[in-house]
Amino acid sequence: MSEYDFLEEFISAIDPAEPDLINIESHLASIPEWDSLAVLGVIVMFETLFDRKITGEIIASAQTVRDIFNFI
């Protein structure tokens, strides 16, 4: 999956108010919607798109959207 495709799926999973402000280098802490529900959305995204389990602890270690992409 390309970074662009991942970013589209990521944005869909977290449902931000301003999706155009998020890019692959965005710091997760700077995304207002980045909360426990967003993390759950990313966990579900990994299970459905990649057939992989990813934990909240693993996601918590990520600083940027790219860090999460690198878990694929």
At residue 54, the pLDDT reads 92
At residue 56, the pLDDT reads 86
**The three-state (H, E, C) secondary structure of the chain, written as one string:** CCHHHHHHHHHHHHCCCCHHHCCCCCEHHHCCCCCHHHHHHHHHHHHHHHCCCCCHHHHHCCCEHHHHHCCC
pTM comes to: 0.90
Range 2-8, long-range pairs (CB < 8 A, 24+ positions): 3/66, 3/69, 6/69, 6/72, 7/65, 7/69
* Residues 4-63: tens digit of each pLDDT: 999 999 999 999 999 999 999 999 999 999 999 999 999 999 999 999 999 989 999 999
Partners of 27 in beta bridges: 64
CATH for 3-69, among 1.10.357, 1.10.1200, 2.20.28, 1.10.3470?
Answer: 1.10.1200
